[in-house]
Amino acid sequence: MTAVVTRPDPKDTAGEPDPRDPEVRLAQLLDVDSMAPLRPKDASGVYAVRGRINGAKAVAYCTDATKMGGAMGSEGCRHIVEAIDTAVKERVPVIGLWHSGGARLAEGVEALDAVGSVFAAMVRASGKVPQISVVLGPAAGGAAYGPALTDIVIMAPTGRVFVTGPDVVRSVTGEQIDMEGLGGPDAHARKSGVVHVTADDEADAYARARRITSLFSLPGVFDLHRVRNDNADLKAMLPASARRAYDVRPLVRRILDHDETSSSFEELQPRWAPNIVVGLGRLAGRTVGVIANNPLRMGGCLDSASAEKASRFVRMCDSFGVPLLVLVDVPGYLPGVGQEWDGVVRRGAKLLHAFAEAIVPRVTLVTRKAYGGAYIAMNARCLGATSVFAWPDAEVAVMGARAAVGILHRKKLAAAPEEEREALHNQLAEEHERIAGGVNRALAIGVVDEVIEPTQTRYRLAESLAAAPAGRGAHGNIPL
């Protein structure tokens, strides 16, 4: 059925268009007057178009919430598949606007089959063109897995994502929860990690989708003139004491292109696994991906959730040819029964795999410390880093000097009289620091290329990324 429905919705008779109308929604996403439908508007519940975002070509589709709550039937699903396949053929990003109750019940298994074909199209496109989802209303069942298969999920305050709604949850498990509690922005931004960006309102959701799409479709080139004369002492943004925590995000925003009031940094999944910060931004005009430990949260340690968050981001950037900038200040992997049983070995292995596999230029900067297994996982030389830099006084070691001598000289320390033990421990730690500590050993064996002046940070990072051969990983972006 491709019957063209021209009869307006009864609500439209007042002249005011329904804000849920796909044409109204897509018009807010795309540049003014840039929208051209792939097919005429019909009763399928999906509208798909070509258009432009900041001048760059894109394909977009929107489920029609004014028809059966946006439920997806076979015809509508065919439109989505066509939109995705068109984007792949034309090598442009594809943006989906979601407001859908899931598969059309009346169509039965036919609708299920069609929804599955949407998933298959998304996987075919995975890693080939950026796929961005904006969840504007309920996205249940099949409509939940659609966004989840794409690279970036943006959610408006009215967005809800769940496999089964509150009624089914109540009847099966007895749990009492409303739609927002179950699958609203807070649930998915903080607890599940499903959502990458929570928007302030629907207009903000389109604005964020436009900014993120442009970071992919208008990647720019490294223009070193833009960073050559920036000589600010970025190390001054770190606290004086090495034990003190700080928020790494102001440093990230400052390293990336910025002006007085704003930065180009678009953080992804900021409230889930917040001990690692990931996001896109521009350095010297070129789109880059940033991965940074955040000492403010859990001391910046790596754990199973943060390793998984970072590995998916690394693989996404690699598949789209986005160079990576890795800021390291990591005390280690979080120890504990909970972590081990939570699969820190299995999920931590994903990060090793992601970095070692990545062929995009990827530069590491150790700002304060890199200890143990977490040192390796944060894009160390052995995993194939393009360059590894360190700021002066940074430490690269298996563990901190005090902890190291506590193990190496356990017997000697135990044999010392108790009143002298503390002094001996300090003395041994100092000696250890001199021989094995700091960054000197790492420099000597070539796992750190160079200690750079903090005032030269932006220039040296951009220079290294610009000099490396551009590449792009030939793989999809499985939602790890």
Task: Please identify every residue annotated as catalytic.
Answer: 141-142, 373-374
Point out which residues pair with 63 in neighbouring strands: 46
Identify which range of 94-102, 194-202, 396-404, 450-458 contacts other proteins by CB under 8 A: 396-404
Rounded to whole angstroms, the Cα distance separating 57 from 30 reads 10
The length of the chain is: 480
Distance of closest approach, residue 425 Cβ to other proteins, in angstroms = 14
Closest distance between other proteins and the C-beta of residue 248, in Å? Answer: 13
- Distance of alpha carbon 349 from alpha carbon 382, whole angstroms: 15
Which one among 245, 349, 443, 466 touches other proteins, defined by CB under 8 A? Answer: 245
Query: Cα 180 from chain centroid?
Result: 23
Minimum CB–partner distance for residue 303 and other proteins (Å): 8
Task: Tell me whether residue 57 or residue 402 sits nearer to other proteins (CB atom).
Answer: 402
437 binds other proteins (CB under 8 A): no
CA distance 126 to 180: 29
Q: Which helix (H) or strand (E) holds 440?
A: helix 440-444
Supply 330's token pair: 């990591």
Residue 237 binding other proteins, by CB under 8 A: no
**CB 152, CB 130: distance < 8 Å:** yes
243 binds other proteins (CB under 8 A): yes
Work out whether 207 is an interface residue with other proteins (CB under 8 A).
no
**CA triplet 210, 211, 215: central angle to 5 degrees?**
115
Which of 40, 336, 384, 471: binder of other proteins (CB under 8 A)? 336
For residue 332, the minimal CB distance to other proteins (Å) is 6
Binding mask 285-304 for other proteins (x = CB under 8 A): ----------xxxxxxx-x-
Distance of alpha carbon 333 from alpha carbon 314, whole angstroms: 19
Mask 337-376, x = binds other proteins (CB under 8 A)? -x--------------------------------------
Residues 261-280 that bind other proteins (CB under 8 A): 271, 275
- Kindly tell me which of 243 and 411 has the beta carbon lying closer to other proteins: 243
Of 403, 413, 416, 470, the one binding other proteins (CB under 8 A) is 403
DSSP-derived 3-state class of residue 175: coil
Interaction of residue 188 with other proteins, rule CB under 8 A: no
Minimum separation from the CB atom of position 300 to other proteins (A)? 7
- Cβ nearer to other proteins, comparing 381 with 402: 402
Q: Nearest distance from residue 97's CB to other proteins, in Å?
A: 29
Give the nearer residue to other proteins in terms of CB position, either 87 or 305: 305
User: DSSP letters of 127-161?
Assistant: TTS-EEEEEEEEEETHHHHHHHHSSEEEE-TT-EE
Q: Closest distance between other proteins and the C-beta of residue 259, in Å?
A: 23
Q: State which residue, 265 or 459, has the beta carbon closest to other proteins.
A: 265
Query: What 3-state DSSP class applies to 341?
Result: helix
* Residue 29: HSE in the Cβ half-sphere, 13 Å Cα cutoff: 33
- Separation CA 401–CA 406 (nearest Å): 8
142 binds other proteins (CB under 8 A): no
* 249 near other proteins, rule: CB under 8 A: no
Strand partners, 62: 47, 97
CA nearest neighbour of 146 among 67, 80, 65, 66: 80
Token output for 273 = 């696994």
Give the count of residues interacting with other proteins (CB under 8 A).
Answer: 22
- Please give the full DSSP string across 284-310, using - where no structure is assigned: TTEEEEEEEE-TTTGGG-B-HHHHHHH
Closer to other proteins by Cβ: residue 177 or 451: 177
Q: Can residue 185 be called a binding residue for other proteins (CB under 8 A)?
A: no
C-alpha closest to that of 158 among 115, 204, 192: 204
Measured from the CB of residue 334, what is the shortest distance to other proteins in angstroms? Answer: 6
DSSP 114-129: HHHHHHHHHHHHTTTS
Question: 266: which strand partners?
Answer: 280
The contact set with other proteins (CB under 8 A) reads 241, 243-245, 271, 275, 295-301, 303, 331-332, 334, 336, 338, 400, 402-403
